[in-house]
Amino acid sequence: MLKSVFDDKGCATVTLDRPKLHNTFDELIIAELTGLFSDLTVNPDVRIIVLAANGNSFCAGADLNWMKRMAKYDYDENIADSKALANMLHTISICPKPIICKVQGSAYGGGVGLISVCDIAIASLNAKFAFSEVKLGITPATISPYVIEAIGKRQAHRYFLSAEIFDAEKALELGLIHQVVQPDELNNFVDRLVKNMMRNSPAAMSAAKELIRKISKEPINKDILDYTAKCIANIRATAEGQEGITAFLAKRKPSWAKE
């Protein structure tokens, strides 16, 4: 269902591995993803995470058999099931490690939610996207906070309501993904991105993620100015902060840099 591979430099690759089922997820996959990302969060050897998938599709959302089971759930069972999905997305979104999403194929519904909780999303030119929930009589509720943050309220109105399929270039325009590359360039592009990020301070990247979460929804006022001043002062005083500045001035690589 899931594959996880760790390299000797600190990159963990988590791969959705149900290609015959278009990498759809059910309650078991949701639990597995939640547990795996919880473990990666606290693993000191992991510096960067890549979320990928095998097969022609990245993730087509909910598994059909899971949907059949859900159709028979009562209200309390539906609540518990939905909370598990919401918790999975939240667990990935708050992971302090940088997460790169490698989108090799189409993503629908919850699959787009997975993309939205990652920090960086790189997609193949042949990838397609859609919020297909309203065609099934439901809504993209659990993924909505992350998707709306990525593409904005106005675009969410169009694509949540129309359920139309859009291509990778449109996803780039909407802000859902960061870059579109040719299918045969995707792996190398992500590998180069990981290699470049391995030169960065792990602590600083985690702090940058926390900074974004704090700043993005707050007005620029004295409290925010004080907070950002404390952030830079605090991280300058850390071991990695001191090492980074010292290495820069000495024109050498910092101790954390891995090639």
Q: Is the pLDDT of residue 259 over 70?
A: no
pLDDT top residue among 118 and 250? 118
For residue 113, what pLDDT band results from cuts at 50, 70 and 90? very high
Whether the pLDDT of residue 216 is over 90: the answer is no
pLDDT value of position 128: 97
pLDDT beyond 90 at 142: yes
Residue 247's pLDDT is: 87
Look at residue 249 and tell me whether its pLDDT is greater than 90. no
- β-partners of residue 48 are 11
* Three-state helix/strand/coil letters over the chain: CEEEEECCCCEEEEEECCHHHCCCECHHHHHHHHHHHHHHHHCCCCCEEEEEECCCEEECCECHHHHHHHCCCCHHHHHHHHHHHHHHHHHHHCCCCCEEEEECCEEECHHHHHHHCCCEEEEECCCEEECCHHHHCCCCCCCHHHHHHHHCHHHHHHHHHHCCCEEHHHHHHHCCCCEEECHHHHHHHHHHHHHHHCCCCHHHHHHHHHHHHHHCCCCCCHHHHHHHHHHHHHHHCCHHHHHHHHHHHHCCCCCCCCC
